[in-house]
């Protein structure tokens, strides 16, 4: 649980860390600029820092009291547990999930293994270490399927594959990114996402892209993607919310995040992944869900920053 803060001075001097060196740098810079402006508008002494090395230098010099982490991705995009470990070692409070939740969520294959072990539904999958026999894996999973890097976000390197002839091209694209690959059954149906803020489950969003699926372009560039919020209501909405919170907790996540789910034509929900530092751009989903719940953008940023006060910390 995070504490409720009323006076901006209680936060001290806040570093909003953005940018970094991951594949999601540009999105993170966009998110960071928005967050910084919102915090400053609420009277918080917040400052932008680009990337982890600059942040750690500033923290060792004693310049900041806490960190609002809006880096996205891995390898210098502080969403994979590395930054969280550094901040723990320096005793600096920060927003969002800790080391374990961040690292587990970034690794989609291990996330899915945890959910499977708890009986939480996630599409059938095969982990693909470099050099694995992708055609044998595809026979195991069955078409249509999805090939993606196991540790990237923002739909980077993701391909929907409907026939064997397209498999090698999909693997080639995903293999441009570091780490292993993941192949999973393509669930056809509705794409939904559920934001979590503290212990509050925000209204779900049903994403309806103009294109075949919600790719990087639909997320950050296109203006014709529809967002229906709430995406599900009534009992179905409650079930989706409960599943999302269970998935979030199972990975040891905390503070805030976003759970992505596919709902098939039979009405079954399938867990895809958890984002522990979701986008906060003008196109982003968490601000849209928060707005429907009566939480404006500035208040949302304030409440995310509150997650840096952990009970007992």
Is 88 among the catalytic positions? no
Bridge partners for 193 per DSSP: 205, 260
- Given 31, 105, 111, 284, the catalytic residue: 284
The verdict on whether omega for the bond into residue 104 sits within 30 degrees of 0, i.e. cis, is no
Is 238 among the catalytic positions? no
Q: Which helix (H) or strand (E) holds 56?
A: helix 52-60
Q: Which helix (H) or strand (E) holds 18?
A: strand 14-18
Is 169 annotated as ligand-binding? no
Is 260 annotated as ligand-binding? yes
Is 2 among the catalytic positions? no
Q: Which helix (H) or strand (E) holds 37?
A: helix 25-41
CB atoms within 10 A of CB 292: 14
- Given 97, 102, 111, 154, the catalytic residue: 154
CB 18 within 8 A of CB 33: yes
Query: In angstroms, what is the C-alpha Rg of the chain?
Result: 19
- Given 2, 24, 31, 191, the catalytic residue: 24
Q: Residue 228 and residue 48: Cα distance in Å, rounded?
A: 32
C-alpha distance from residue 170 to each of 116, 158, 165, 305 (Å): 26, 8, 10, 39
Is 275 annotated as ligand-binding? yes
Give binding residues for Mg(2+) as ranges.
Answer: 260, 273, 275
Give binding residues as ranges.
Answer: 260, 273, 275
The residues assigned a catalytic role are 24, 154, 284
């Amino acid at each position: 649980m995070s504490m409720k803060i009323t006076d901006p001075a209680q936060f001290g001097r806040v570093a909003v860390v953005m940018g970094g060196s991951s594949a999601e740098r540009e999105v993170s810079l966009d998110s960071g600029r928005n967050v910084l402006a919102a915090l400053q508008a609420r009277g918080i002494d917040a400052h932008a820092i680009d990337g982890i090395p600059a942040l750690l230098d500033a923290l060792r010099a004693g310049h900041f009291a806490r960190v609002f982490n809006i880096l996205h991705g891995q390898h210098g995009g502080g969403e994979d547990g590395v930054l969280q470990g550094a901040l723990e070692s320096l005793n600096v409070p920060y927003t969002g999930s800790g080391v374990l939740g961040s690292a587990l969520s970034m690794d989609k294959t291990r996330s899915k293994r945890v959910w499977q072990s708890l009986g939480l539904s996630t599409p059938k999958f095969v982990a693909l270490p470099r050099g694995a026999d992708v055609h044998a894996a595809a026979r195991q999973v069955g078409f249509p399927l999805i090939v993606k890097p196991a540790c990237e976000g923002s739909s980077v390197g993701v391909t929907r594959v409907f026939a064997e002839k397209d498999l090698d091209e999909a693997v080639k694209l995903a293999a441009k990114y570091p780490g292993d690959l993941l192949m999973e059954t393509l669930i056809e149906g509705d794409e939904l996402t559920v934001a979590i803020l503290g212990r509050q489950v925000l209204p779900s969003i049903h994403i309806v892209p103009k294109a075949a699926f919600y790719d990087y372009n639909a997320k950050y560039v296109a203006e014709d993607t529809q967002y229906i919020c709430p995406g599900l209501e009534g009992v179905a909405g409650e079930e989706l919310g409960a599943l999302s919170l269970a998935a979030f907790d199972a990975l040891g996540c905390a503070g805030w995040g976003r759970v992505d789910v596919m709902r098939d034509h039979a009405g079954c929900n399938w867990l895809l992944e958890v984002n522990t530092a979701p986008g906060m751009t003008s196109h982003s989903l968490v601000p849209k869900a928060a707005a429907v719940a009566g939480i404006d953008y500035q208040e949302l940023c304030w409440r995310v920053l509150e997650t840096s006060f952990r009970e007992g910390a």
